[in-house]
């Protein structure tokens, strides 16, 4: 691999085999022999700065992860197209029988920012333009809010509103809706602030985002259960 960046990845893999793999060898073996039983389905943005495992302190086998641009969930659409996000949702719920689905938005999301840009459709971005339609409804709500005059506040607000819309879209999937109605599956809206490293969760009784961890990690190093 001549490219310097790829050489860094190669070195990283060597380090993984020498240290992390050895540390987790028994865990990897058990997961291989017994299969996976993740704690949750995590739907996050493809953004390289959002690292689901790192920000949740997760290890091998802990999270079943879907990542796409903008952490969007397309509504249920049973047609002849290929639906990557939809199929992974169905697999997580119907096959793996996971009980919790987290949609995690984040600050400074490029997908959300692009909703406010005039992007010309070409044969190089046709799927991206179509996918970004999933942010149009959150954008419309945000544009009616008090944040309209402050670009950064508007973007942060759109990012959060979008999470709630994607949770609603999850309920269009019969496999999800049925289990949510039965109290067997629970939906969680999270928002990760990249600058502070803090995850907030959406409280659907108070209609607001609140810190997932109650303790300030700079003053208290106790590990808390990260469910909401
Ligand atoms: Zn993003």
CA 212 remoteness from chain centre: 15
Establish if 105 belongs to a structural domain.
Answer: yes
Both 8 and 118 in one domain: the answer is no
Residue 227 CA, ligand 1 centroid: distance in Å: 22
Both 178 and 192 in one domain: the answer is yes
Residue 136 CA, ligand 1 centroid: distance in Å: 15
Establish if 26 belongs to a structural domain.
Answer: yes
Give the model confidence (pLDDT) of 45-93 as tens digits.
Answer: 999 999 999 999 999 999 999 999 999 999 999 999 999 999 999 999 9
Residue 69 CA, ligand 1 centroid: distance in Å: 6
Establish if 179 belongs to a structural domain.
Answer: yes
Residue 19 CA, ligand 1 centroid: distance in Å: 31
Both 108 and 135 in one domain: the answer is yes
What average pLDDT is seen over the chain?
Answer: 94
Both 100 and 121 in one domain: the answer is yes
Establish if 54 belongs to a structural domain.
Answer: yes
Residues in the chain: 228
* Residue among 58, 56, 14, 69 at smallest CA distance from 36: 58
Question: Looking at residue 224, what is its pLDDT?
Answer: 39
Both 43 and 62 in one domain: the answer is yes
Burial 143-158 (b: 16+ CB within 10 A, else e): eeeebeeeeeebbbbb
Contact present, 71 and 166 (Cβ < 8 Å): yes
Task: Report the sign of the C-alpha dihedral through residues 34, 38, 43, 48, in that order.
Answer: negative
Q: What is the 3-state secondary structure (H, E, C) of the chain?
A: CCCHHHHHHHHHHHHHHHHHHHHCHHHHHHHHHHCCCCCEEEEEECCCCCCHHHHCCCCCCCEEEEEECCCCCCCCCCCCCCCHHHHHHHHHHHHCCCCEEEEEEECCCHHHHHCCCCCCCCCCCHHHHHHHHHHHHHHHHHHCCHHHHCHHHHHHHHHHHHHHHHHHHHCCCHHHHHHHHCCCCEEEEEEEECCCCEEEEEECCCCEEEECCCCCCCCCCCCCCCCC
Both 9 and 57 in one domain: the answer is no
Residue 183 CA, ligand 1 centroid: distance in Å: 30
Residue 71 CA, ligand 1 centroid: distance in Å: 7
Both 25 and 41 in one domain: the answer is no
Spatial distance between the Cα atoms of 134 and 75, rounded to a whole number of angstroms: 9
Residue 48 CA, ligand 1 centroid: distance in Å: 9
Give the model confidence (pLDDT) of 24-40 as tens digits.
Answer: 999 999 999 999 999 99
Both 26 and 44 in one domain: the answer is no
Residue 118 CA, ligand 1 centroid: distance in Å: 18
Question: Looking at residue 214, what is its pLDDT?
Answer: 81
Question: Looking at residue 218, what is its pLDDT?
Answer: 58
Residues with CB under 5 A from ligand 1 (ion): 45, 47, 109, 111
Question: Looking at residue 223, what is its pLDDT?
Answer: 40
Contact present, 42 and 52 (Cβ < 8 Å): yes
Both 70 and 101 in one domain: the answer is yes
Spatial distance between the Cα atoms of 73 and 163, rounded to a whole number of angstroms: 9
Both 41 and 94 in one domain: the answer is yes
Spatial distance between the Cα atoms of 118 and 157, rounded to a whole number of angstroms: 20
Establish if 225 belongs to a structural domain.
Answer: no
Query: Domain limits at 18?
Result: 1-35
Establish if 56 belongs to a structural domain.
Answer: yes
Residue 161 CA, ligand 1 centroid: distance in Å: 14
Residue 50 CA, ligand 1 centroid: distance in Å: 8
Residue 140 CA, ligand 1 centroid: distance in Å: 18
Q: Provide the number of structural domains found in the chain.
A: 2
Give phi and psi for 9, each to the nearest 5.
-65, -40
Residue 25 CA, ligand 1 centroid: distance in Å: 32
pLDDT at 124 over 90: yes
Residue 111 CA, ligand 1 centroid: distance in Å: 5
Both 88 and 167 in one domain: the answer is yes
Residue 52 CA, ligand 1 centroid: distance in Å: 12
Establish if 19 belongs to a structural domain.
Answer: yes
Give the model confidence (pLDDT) of 156-198 as tens digits.
Answer: 999 999 999 999 999 999 999 999 999 999 999 999 999 999 9
Establish if 91 belongs to a structural domain.
Answer: yes
* Residue among 219, 116, 112 at smallest CA distance from 166: 112
Both 186 and 73 in one domain: the answer is yes
Spatial distance between the Cα atoms of 63 and 44, rounded to a whole number of angstroms: 11
Question: Looking at residue 178, what is its pLDDT?
Answer: 98
């Amino acid at each position: 691999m001549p490219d310097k960046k790829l050489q860094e990845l190669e070195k990283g893999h060597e380090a993984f085999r020498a240290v992390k793999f050895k540390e987790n060898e028994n865990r990897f073996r058990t997961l291989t022999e017994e299969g996976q039983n993740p704690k949750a389905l995590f739907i996050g943005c493809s953004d390289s700065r959002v690292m689901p495992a790192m920000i949740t302190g997760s290890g091998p086998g802990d999270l079943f992860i879907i990542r796409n641009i903008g952490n969007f969930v397309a509504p249920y659409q049973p047609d002849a197209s290929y639906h990557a996000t939809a199929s992974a949702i169905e697999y997580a719920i119907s096959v793996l029988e996971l009980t919790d689905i987290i949609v995690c938005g984040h600050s400074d999301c490029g997908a959300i920012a692009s909703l406010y840009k005039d992007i010309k459709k070409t044969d190089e971005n046709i799927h991206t333009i179509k996918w970004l339609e999933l942010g149009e409804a959150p954008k419309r709500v945000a544009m009616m809010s008090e944040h309209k005059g402050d670009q950064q506040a508007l973007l942060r607000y759109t990012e959060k509103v979008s999470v709630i819309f994607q949770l609603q879209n999850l309920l269009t999937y019969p496999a999800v809706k049925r289990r949510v109605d039965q109290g067997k599956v629970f939906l969680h809206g999270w928002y990760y602030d990249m600058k502070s490293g803090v995850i907030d969760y959406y409280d659907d009784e108070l209609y607001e985002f609140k810190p997932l961890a109650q303790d300030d990690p700079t003053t208290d190093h106790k590990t808390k259960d990260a469910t909401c």
